[in-house]
Amino acid sequence: MQKLTIPLLAISFLLAVGCAPRPKPSAFPQTATVVNPYFSDKSQDYTYRTKIAVYGHELNGILIAKKISDSVHRVVLTTDFGNTLLDFEIGQQSFRKNAIVDDLDRKIIVNTLRDDFRLLFRETYAIPELDGHTGDLEVFAVEGRDHYQISFSGNKLISISKGSRKKEKVSVGFVSTNDKFADTIEIHHRDIKLNIEMRHFAP
Amino acid sequence: MKKISFLLLFFIGFQTFAQQAMSASEIADFKKKVNAASATIKTMTTDFVQYKHMDFLAKDVETSGKMAFKEPNSLAWQYKKPYNYSIVFKSGKIFINDEGKKSQMDAKSNKTFSKINKLIVGSVSGQMFDDKEFAISYYKSAGFDIARFVPKDASLKKYIKQVELSFDKKEGTVEQVRLLESETDYTKIVFKNKILNAKVDDSAFSN
């Protein structure tokens, strides 16, 4: 009897585990959150020497970003002389154009930069549970048609890319020697010739 | 906190109050002094610190470097901290060296840029009181004689609301430049260690 009991117990245990409903990412509430910490401190002025390359044209200047409320970042791009080229207030759901020079005031430029900055400043993504995984990691978040791929190396966020189910449209790469801000940031577009390079400086 | 804000308000109020409009005779004297000083300026080298002030920031964005000017209109701005970037205005051209990457453009082809160029050269040399592009008003404070330039041209006005030059009361040379973009936001450039009429090599204007 005992001989039979042990395998039976083992089988029923396995069955019980095997049959336990596994959460499907799409059908169950998502349980983990990953965080982009690099623009999240309200007391910080984030300052970057920035180069925007678009269809063979290059624009250099200083990008200043600051989290001004729980949901809004203000971002200002100036020339090296300090003249403001653009001044936006950007939330994931909100957008305000405080100022922009005529040369840049085209709908496609404004909308593309707005979306790039949204991706840059966004702090949290809900993802399926990670089972306590740490270290190098790639996770995926799906929101409607938007697919995000978020990569970590040694627990540090190193890239976020956004696209459709089939292809990536834009990626943001971070290099950070601390966990507070990124030392360098590169934004690359796959569908249009637009790249943004940012290098942190402490003024 | 209340005390501090009150003090600040008082200070700001005092500052504003302390800038008095010049009388007609004071304006004439001031112009004479500045024109006399700028007539003697053949070259100028100076260190500068640039402060970009925006009300929403905790600190001004500070950059610094060296500036060289040589008659009639060669001008070199060289940012050294926190990054290397230089821009030279020479014979109607603009030469840029951005951390080793060089480029150039024609200043004349860009009307706004050439107006800004004229403004920068003018503000450094002090020769801009006859400029028809600006409405000019004159003030004095305890430390400086001040000239305010408001662009008349609509396209220039979009970029620069007002330029304020602060002159040394004795020497009649520019000590500070403040470019106002709005009521609260401005770029201030403060000159330090100014040297007038020393020999400035042409290499200062090649980057």
- CATH number of the domain to which B28 belongs: 2.50.20.10
A124 lies in a domain? yes
Terminal alpha carbon distance of chain B: 49
Q: Show residues of chain A in contact with B158, CB under 8 Å.
A: 101-102
The nearest alpha carbon in chain A to B60 belongs to: A203
A154 lies in a domain? yes
Q: Do B187 and A83 touch (CB under 8 A)?
A: yes
DSSP at A108? H
Residue A186 has pLDDT above 90, yes or no: yes
- How are the residues of chain A apportioned to helix, strand and coil, as percentages rounded to the nearest 5? 20, 45, 35
The tokens for A86 are 């653009």
Of the partner residues A80, A82, A102, the one whose CB lies closest to the CB of residue B85: A80
CA distance B57 to A66: 7
Average pLDDT over residues B171-191: 90
Q: Do B61 and A64 touch (CB under 8 A)?
A: yes
CA distance A77 to A155: 31
A5 lies in a domain? no
A114 lies in a domain? yes
Q: Are A128 and A23 in contact (CB under 8 A)?
A: yes
Q: How far is A193 from chain B (nearest CA, A)?
A: 20
pLDDT at A177: 94
pLDDT at B103: 87
Residue B9 has pLDDT above 60, yes or no: no
pLDDT at A3: 45
Q: Looking at the 3D structure of chain B, how many domains does it have?
A: 1
B24 lies in a domain? yes
Distance, C-alpha B183 to centroid of its chain:
18
Residue A148 has pLDDT above 60, yes or no: yes
Which range among A91-95, A100-104, B5-9 shows the weakest confidence by mean pLDDT? B5-9
Average pLDDT over residues A47-74: 94
Q: Show residues of chain A in contact with B178, CB under 8 Å.
A: none
pLDDT at B145: 94
B4 lies in a domain? no
Of the partner residues A44, A74, A78, the one whose CB lies closest to the CB of residue B52: A78
B179 lies in a domain? yes
B133 lies in a domain? yes
Model confidence at A12, pLDDT cuts 50, 70, 90, reads very low
Residue A88 has pLDDT above 50, yes or no: yes
Looking at chain A, the whole-number percentage of residues with pLDDT higher than 90 is 66
Q: Do B158 and A81 touch (CB under 8 A)?
A: no
A12 lies in a domain? no
B129 lies in a domain? yes
B13 lies in a domain? no
Average pLDDT over residues B1-11: 44
Q: Looking at the 3D structure of chain A, how many domains does it have?
A: 1
Q: Are A118 and A39 in contact (CB under 8 A)?
A: no
Q: Which of A87, A42, A94 is nearest to A68 (CA)?
A: A42
A132 lies in a domain? yes
The tokens for B31 are 């112009």
Which range among A38-52, A106-120, B102-116 shows the weakest confidence by mean pLDDT? B102-116
Burial A17-26 (b: 16+ CB within 10 A, else e): eeeeeeeeee
Give the structural domain span for B134: 20-205
Q: Which contiguous run of DSSP H or E holds residue B12?
A: helix B2-18
Instruction: Give the Å distances, CA to CA, from B15 to A25, A26, B168, B172.
Output: 62, 62, 17, 21
The tokens for B90 are 């020479």
B186-196, strands of its sheet edge to edge: B20-21, B134-140, B144-151, B162-168, B174-180, B186-196, B43-53, B61-70, B74-81, B85-90, B93-98, B101-106
pLDDT at B1: 43
Q: Show residues of chain B in contact with A82, CB under 8 Å.
A: 50, 52, 61, 179, 187
B193 lies in a domain? yes
Q: Are A134 and A153 in contact (CB under 8 A)?
A: no
The nearest alpha carbon in chain B to A57 belongs to: B103
Model confidence at A18, pLDDT cuts 50, 70, 90, reads very low
Which range among A157-166, B19-28, B33-42 shows the weakest confidence by mean pLDDT? B33-42
| A14 vs A111 pLDDT, higher one | A111
A8 lies in a domain? no
Q: What amino acid is encoded at A140 in this protein? A: F
Q: Do A66 and B85 touch (CB under 8 A)?
A: no
Q: Do B61 and A47 touch (CB under 8 A)?
A: yes
Residue B81 has pLDDT above 90, yes or no: yes
Give the structural domain span for A40: 31-200
Q: What amino acid is encoded at B194 in this protein? A: K
B5 lies in a domain? no
Q: Which residue has the tokens 């001008």?
A: B75
Q: Do B58 and A202 touch (CB under 8 A)?
A: no
Burial B144-165 (b: 16+ CB within 10 A, else e): bbbbbbbbeeeebeebbbbbbb
Among B43-57, B93-107, B172-186, the range of highest mean pLDDT? B43-57
The tokens for B142 are 């305890």
Q: Are B157 and B141 in contact (CB under 8 A)?
A: no
Distance, C-alpha B93 to centroid of its chain:
20
CA distance B148 to B163: 6
A100 lies in a domain? yes
Contact residues of B toward A, CB < 8 A: 50, 52, 54, 56-63, 77, 79, 82-83, 85, 87, 98, 103, 155, 158-160, 179, 181, 185, 187
- Candidates A67, A69, A80: best to mutate against B (most CBs of B within 10 A) is A80
Query: Which CATH number characterizes residue A191's domain?
Result: 2.50.20
